[in-house]
Each structure stands twice: as structure tokens, then as C-alpha cells.
Chain A
Amino acid sequence: MAQARSTGAGQVLLGAAGEPSLTAAGDQLLSVYRLSDPALSELPLQRLLDELLDRVTDVLGVDTVAFLLLDAEAGELVARAAKGIEEEVKQGVRIPLGRGFAGRIAAERATIFIPDVDHADVLNPILREVGIRSLLGTPLIVEDQVLGVLHVGTLHPRDFDSTDATLLQLAASRAAPAIAHAQLFEALDREHRSAVGLQRSLLPDSLPALPDADVAARYLPARDEVGGDWYDVLELADGKVGVVIGDVAGHGVRAAALMGQLRTGLRAYALEGHPPGRALALLGTLLQTLRGRGMATVAYAVVDLADGSLTIANAGHPPPLVVGADGTTRMVDVRPAPPLGALPFAQFEEGRDRLEDGDTIALYTDGLVEQRGVPLPESFDRLEAAAAATRGRASAEGLCDALLAEMVPGRMAEDDVAVVALRRVPVPQTLHLRLAAEPGILGGMRRTLRRWLHAHGATEEEMQAITLAAGEACANAIEHAYPPGPASFDMEAEMAGGALTLVVRDHGDWRDPRGQHRGRGLELMQAVMDDVEVRRSGGGTEIVMRRRVGR
């Protein structure tokens, strides 16, 4: 029977080694099995606790069961799951270690029996309110660490014996590792989810809309972990575009956070106008100053959209791939320098190349080409073959998808993968642009129009005059033709018999020139073009301008 010794105040400590007296061997075995079922350890924490509450209630024939888990930082036990005293969980009852019934169980690592609650030191008022008369509790211990307390109670006085104590300890010994496992898993899952969230928030939410370049990017997180891959596309001054790919060594929140710092750092140097080699050298210096440091590979390419010239520096990245409009493929010739953070004062050589009309450059992280068991040269061959299979006709989006489909089937990557592609849009015979009705689009519109005019033999002076007139017509479409909100308008340019026809068409309501400001715009269009015609209809406004071009 119970090996009990009185501890005063109506409490009894039960020896943990108490042998259950197997009066009904079959029932006992079933009880033991129900409390030590190995399937329990596969359940997530909340379901595990709920399941144990039911089984303990049945096996021990008690009215209440409660799990309190230790909040180690606060030094308190927190009610986490309960049956019969559900209020305890709802109210988030907290019991300081060492105090009261549960607090003492955890502090003394002992199974405690209270035959009569009325005469005992019980802190939790809920236990009294419910009318519990007897209590039995045992600590949850894993690898010598107390995780919490499991206790049961009855509404009538009951002499819990050593069999009861042993069964409760059995339930506790089964629950404790599963709880530890589930808590660890929850913590990791929380970390994973916050790392994924952080990673997502640090990548660009949209790429710049450029009328003369088609850009796209993809990011695939690794199957199990969040990495530090990133990409970026930056609209720089003077019609240049920066394309960035990077990969911070390591995984998880730390890698994602460092990635965010490096992405911002490189943006700052790029916008300051530093060429690729210098920008990477500065980024290396920045990395040296960051807490925790780390290493990162980065490639930064600057493309001049006017003539397609490309300058690139590469700190430890696989070589960028160029897919020609004719379907040929090549790797950009740039000597890879060591990763950032590997060598102080590292210098970065710049490689040069040129994107012809319709050529696409793709930068990617090593996750795209590094697969377990596949030799690297073979991966590069497959990458080039997948690119060649697009026959140079794919959009930037299409190329990203084609590369991923070949290299990461099912999109289940072992390491995270980032790809960013930029295609230099060919100069068409007739220019047709659909433009977002926002002022930020004007710079790209002028750049695209200049390139088209240049290809059609316009002189510098003519290009100046025509871009001015186009700028005014587009500004008019943006400023006056729309209610607030996203909208677009169209611009068309056509050259026939040495004469240019330029049409800007919106889908809003024309308003007569308001004040001197807009009046000046119309005045300028009329002054620099041979002919300006404003056609208004219910569906919108069309400004048609003509000018003789070239001698």
C-alpha cells in the first residue's frame, strides 16, 4: 500500500518508487499502455495535452486534471491544459515556484498528496472554488529539468495510494519528453515562421516597371530552412539599371537579418552612383563593421539601357548567364573575387559585356546549380541547355520559370534559390507603350522614346524637341485625365516617309488647360512639333503630334 510519510499541514509525500499492487493485472496493463502509448509523442503540444487529460481522467477515475508548464524566465508555473478546472487555463493562473501545492511539487521535484484541501496550503483559489477535496500531483521532468506539474483532484475525499501515484508518474514520464519535444518544435516553428516572414519582408515587393527593360525575379525558400538569398533591381540615374543577386552564408533569422542589411547597403552605394567594383568593395567594408559579421556572395551588374553596355563585379557568385535574342547562350566573363567578408580590403575587378536588343541576363544563387550528387559542370550544362531551349524568345518571367523548371523540379529546393532576369526590350518598328498613369514613369518613357528615335535616325536636337512634346502630352494624361488610383495610358510613335506621328491616348475626361501651367505644356508641344491635334471623345483624349524628322 501507499508508502506515505506525513509532512505536516495535511500533506503527504509519496515515494516515487512505490510498486503498484497489480490487483487486476489486465486493467493495470491497459492503464499503463494508455498512458505510455508511443503514438502520443507524435502529437502537437495542445493535442497531446488534451489526449493525456482524457486518459488520466479515465485511468485514475478523478474529477480534475491539470498541466502547469514552467515559465522559466518568470519562475512561475502557468496553467496550460485542464479538465474539470478549465477556468484555470482560461484565467492563465500562474503559481510561483516553491509556493502552494503545484509550486512545491516543481521546486521539490516530489510527488505530493493532499488528502484534505481545506487544511492545506493551496494558493490557487479555483481549486477551492470547484470544491476539490483531495489532490495528487507529480513533477514533469526531462533530463533533470523540471518542465512543469501534472496534478489530479477529486470532489470527494480520496486516499490516493502508491498505485495511483505510480500511474500518475507514468503519465508524467510519458508526457514530459513529448512536451519538451513539442515545445522545442513550437519554438523552432516560430523561429522558422518569423525567418520566412523576415525574408519575405526584406525582398523587394515589386520590381521597377521599365518600358525598355523586362525584369522578373523568383525566390524559392529551402524545403526546411530559411536562407539569406536576395535579389534586387534598381533604377539608377542616366538610364541605367542595377541588377543584384546575393547570398548570405547560413540560415535562419540571423542570415535573413544580415541579408536585409546588405541589400540596403548595396542599394545605398548603387544609388550614390558607385560602379559595381567600388560598390562591392564598400559593401565589404560595411560587412566588416556589422555585428556578428558573416560572409556573403554578391554579384552586381549595371546595364545601360541606352546602348546595352553592361558592367559587373562578382564576389564569389556563379557566373551570370546571357541568353541572346538568337537563342545562343554564354556565361558573362567576370573573374569571381572571394565572397564579401572573406578578405579585408578586397578589390573587385569589373567585367564588361553588352546586351544586344532582345538579350536577357540572368543572375542566380548557387542553390540553382548546386544539387546533391550532381557534378557542377553537368549542372551548368543543364542550365545553359534550359536557357537555349527558350530560343531567345522568352520574356524575363518566362526565362526564370524555364530555368527553375529544369533545375529545381517541383520547386522543392534543398537550399534556397533566387533568380533575377533582365531582358533588353528590342527597338520595335512602331513604338507602342502602355504606361502607368504616374509621374515616376516619365523618365523611362523619355529614355525609351530617345532610343527609338535614335534608331530611326533622329538628330540630337530633334530628340530633344520630340521628348519634350511627348513629356508634356504624357504629363497631361497623368495629371488631368484620371481620378486617383491605378490607371494607364498609351503612347504610340510611328515613322513614315521621314515624318513622325506621335499619339498619346488616355481613357479619361479631357479638361481644358487649367491656368498658365498646363497652358504652357500645350504651348510647348505646339512650338516644337509641326502639328498638334487634340481629339476629345467620351472615351478619352488623344493628342496627335507630327514632325518631320531627319534633314
Chain B
Amino acid sequence: MTAQLAQLEMRGDGPVVVAAIAGEVDMSNAADLGSAAANALSVRTTALILDLDRVTYLDSAAIHMIYELRAKLAGRGLKLALVVPPEAPTFTALRLTGVPDAVPTFRTADEARAELGD
């Protein structure tokens, strides 16, 4: 048995959906978390907010998943936003790989919602 390193919780049934991840994201679970978030979207969804506020560890596997998710959503005409405060321990890896420049990144889910017009 392998430990369940992370949990995924999908919130919202309007046009903007929040996928909140808690725990650690690495090569053991990143791809599955990305697919699960994408598969939970409905035809009414216009944007996905990936809330990483409660993620305690992420590495290049998670960053790869974020870029993949962005490409997948763009193909369906959907927007992607991230939630991660700059002082979070995970922010360093995101910053070093250019994620905040490529994907709109917000301090809280509410700020992201406001920006995406929900």
C-alpha cells in the first residue's frame, strides 16, 4: 500500500470551478490529480481555479501537470488560474519554473474568482 499523499476536493457547480489540493504532489500522484480535476468539469464550466494553498510539497511533476492542464483547458476554451500565496513554501519551485508568469496566480481563491468574474 502506498500512502495517500494528497486529497482533491472539487468545489462549485457554476461556471467557475475550484479544485483544491491538500498534501504533497509528486510523480506518484500529479498526473492523476490533473486528470481528476479536468474530468470533473462540466459543459457549463468556463474556468478552473487550481487551489494549491494547502499543498506542502510540489516538484517538477506537479509543474508539468499544471502546464498540461493549462494546455488541455485552452484547447476547450477554458481559463486556468492558480491560488498560492507568494510566502508559501511551494512558491519557490513555481517561481523558478516560470509558472506565475504563464498562469494567472492569486493569493486566495476569492481573489481568483473576482478576477474570473464569477
Binding site for B on A (CB under 8 A): 204, 208, 234-237, 271, 439-440, 442-444, 446, 460-461, 464-465, 467-468, 471-472, 475, 478-479, 516-518, 520-521, 523-524, 527-528
Name the prevailing secondary structure of the A interface residues: helix
Q: For B1, B23, B60, B96, which residue has the most chain A Cβ atoms within 10 angstroms?
A: B60
Q: In the docked arrangement, what's the CA distance between A461 and B87, Å?
A: 11
Q: A465-B92, A521-B60 are in contact. Are A234 and B26 (CB under 8 A)?
A: no
**Least CB separation from B31: chain A residue:** A439
Which residue of A208, A237, A471 contacts B26 across the interface (Cβ within 8 Å)? A471
Residues on B with beta carbons closer than 8 Å to the beta carbon of A465: 92
Q: Is the CB of A471 within 8 A of B5?
A: no
Shortest Cβ distance from residue A477 to the other chain B in the assembled complex, whole angstroms: 11
Q: In the docked arrangement, what's the CA distance between A236 and B23, Å?
A: 12
Shortest Cβ distance from residue A530 to the other chain B in the assembled complex, whole angstroms: 15
Q: For B1, B89, B96, which residue has the most chain A Cβ atoms within 10 angstroms?
A: B1
Which residue of B26, B60, B89 contacts A442 across the interface (Cβ within 8 Å)? B26
Which residue of A443, A468, A517, A524 contacts B3 across the interface (Cβ within 8 Å)? A443
Which residue of B24, B61, B67, B97 contacts A443 across the interface (Cβ within 8 Å)? B24
**Least CB separation from A461: chain B residue:** B89
Interface residue total, chain B, C-beta cutoff 8 A: 23
Q: In the docked arrangement, what's the CA distance between A549 and B84, Å?
A: 27
- Across the A-B interface, how many residue pairs have beta carbons closer than 8 Å? 77
Q: Is the CB of A520 within 8 A of B97?
A: yes
Q: Is the CB of A475 within 8 A of B59?
A: yes
Residues on B with beta carbons closer than 8 Å to the beta carbon of A204: 1
**Least CB separation from A465: chain B residue:** B92
Shortest Cβ distance from residue B102 to the other chain A in the assembled complex, whole angstroms: 12
Which B92-113 residues sit within 8 Å CB-CB of chain A?
A: 92-93, 96-97
Q: Is the CB of B3 within 8 A of A237?
A: yes
16 cross-chain CB contacts under 8 A: A235-B1, A236-B3, A439-B26, A439-B27, A439-B28, A440-B2, A440-B3, A440-B28, A442-B27, A465-B92, A468-B92, A468-B93, A475-B26, A516-B64, A516-B67, A521-B59
Residues on B with beta carbons closer than 8 Å to the beta carbon of A468: 57, 59, 92-93
Q: In the docked arrangement, what's the CA distance between A527 and B93, Å?
A: 9
Residues on B with beta carbons closer than 8 Å to the beta carbon of A235: 1-3
B38 at the interface (CB under 8 A from A): no
Residues on B with beta carbons closer than 8 Å to the beta carbon of A472: 59-60
Residues on B with beta carbons closer than 8 Å to the beta carbon of A439: 26-28
Q: In the docked arrangement, what's the CA distance between A18 and B85, Å?
A: 102
Q: In the docked arrangement, what's the CA distance between A444 and B92, Å?
A: 22
Shortest Cβ distance from residue A512 to the other chain B in the assembled complex, whole angstroms: 16
Q: A235-B1, A520-B97, A524-B97 are in contact. Are A478 and B92 (CB under 8 A)?
A: no
B39 at the interface (CB under 8 A from A): no
Which B51-105 residues sit within 8 Å CB-CB of chain A?
A: 57, 59-61, 63-64, 67, 89, 92-93, 96-97
Residues on B with beta carbons closer than 8 Å to the beta carbon of A460: 89
Q: Is the CB of A517 within 8 A of B60?
A: yes
Residues on A with beta carbons closer than 8 Å to the beta carbon of B26: 439, 442-443, 471, 475
